[in-house]
């Protein structure tokens, strides 16, 4: 792979007199980032609000086989409510802050039995046994987490063998970055994070007009060897 890439770079620089492989790569990267900026700024500011119902549906489809879903960095547990009400899934929402958790009386009685919102740091999920949940979602949360590796390792511990972790977040260069002036991960960075924390079958892409980073990884179906 590296040899092939080196060969390609050499061919590109030979075909572009006066331009080294590195310069050429920098030019391509800067053109890509300009294109991403143009794409992002051509969207309306309410883009993310508009796509929310479709995104929830997409998440529901992706995790439809799970009986119990863990939502890490759940905020007000809105997605958890949706999953419980639409798919009758059992959902555990975890957030460091319980400030926007719904009041019990605001929930339908069926949802009340399915949804549990827990105030906890996702780095330490001691209230969950190893392999306790079938699937996990982190929606708009990864970029806010201070020690993402610690959270991803703990998330893998509580995921059942073969279970799926789904991350949906703002990617670098997206409209969100222009609106909020925050820095976000690139797909490659998220892929590296998932690999470094032991997930397998990793796939990372951009969906919804490239404004949402969509990453998946599995906990290996076989018990990992330790030591």
Ligand X SMILES: C[S@@+](CC[C@H](N)C(=O)[O-])C[C@H]1O[C@@H](n2cnc3c(N)ncnc32)[C@H](O)[C@@H]1O
User: What are the C-alpha distances in Å from 159 to residues 7, 33, 132, 144?
Assistant: 42, 36, 6, 21
DSSP code for 171: P
Let me know: does 58 contact 86? Beta carbons within 8 Å.
no
Among 66, 73, 155, 211, binds ligand X (CB under 6 A): 73
Q: How far is the CB of 221 from ligand X (least distance, A)?
A: 27
Q: Which residue is nearest to ligand X (CB)?
A: 75
* Contacts (CB under 6 A) with ligand X, residues 80-109: 94-97
Alpha-helical regions (H) of 181-222: 187-196
Site string for ligand X, 143-182 (x = CB under 6 A): -xx-----x-------------------------------
Total residues contacting ligand X by CB under 6 A comes to 17
Reference 77, options 57, 63, 97; nearest CA is 97
CA 95 to chain centre: 16
Tokens linked to 227: 């030591």
Among 40, 63, 66, 74, binds ligand X (CB under 6 A): 74
- If binding is defined by CB under 6 A, does position 125 make contact with ligand X? no
Q: How far is the CB of 151 from ligand X (least distance, A)?
A: 6
**Residues at the site binding ligand X, with contacts judged by CB under 6 A:** 73-75, 79, 94-97, 121-123, 139-141, 144-145, 151
């Amino acid at each position: 792979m590296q040899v092939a890439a080196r060969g390609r770079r050499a061919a590109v620089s030979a075909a572009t007199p006066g331009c080294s492989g590195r310069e050429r790569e920098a030019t391509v990267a800067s053109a890509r980032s300009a294109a991403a900026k143009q794409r992002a700024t051509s969207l309306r500011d309410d883009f993310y609000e508009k796509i929310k119902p479709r995104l929830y549906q997409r998440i529901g489809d992706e995790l439809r086989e799970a009986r119990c879903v863990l939502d890490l960095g759940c905020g007000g547990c809105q997605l958890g409510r949706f999953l419980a009400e639409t798919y009758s899934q059992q959902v555990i929402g975890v957030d460091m802050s319980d400030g926007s958790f719904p009041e019990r009386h605001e929930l339908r009685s069926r949802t009340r039995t399915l949804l549990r919102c827990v105030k906890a740091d996702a780095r330490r999920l001691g209230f969950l046994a190893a392999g306790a949940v079938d699937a996990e979602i982190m929606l708009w949360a990864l970029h806010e987490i201070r020690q993402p590796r610690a959270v991803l390792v703990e998330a893998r511990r509580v995921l059942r063998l073969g279970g799926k972790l789904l991350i949906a977040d703002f990617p670098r260069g997206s409209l969100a970055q222009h609106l909020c002036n925050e820095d976000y991960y690139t797909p490659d960075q998220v892929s590296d994070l998932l690999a470094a924390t032991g997930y397998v079958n990793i796939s990372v892409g951009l969906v919804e007009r490239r404004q949402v980073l969509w990453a998946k990884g599995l906990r290996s179906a076989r018990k990992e060897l330790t030591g």
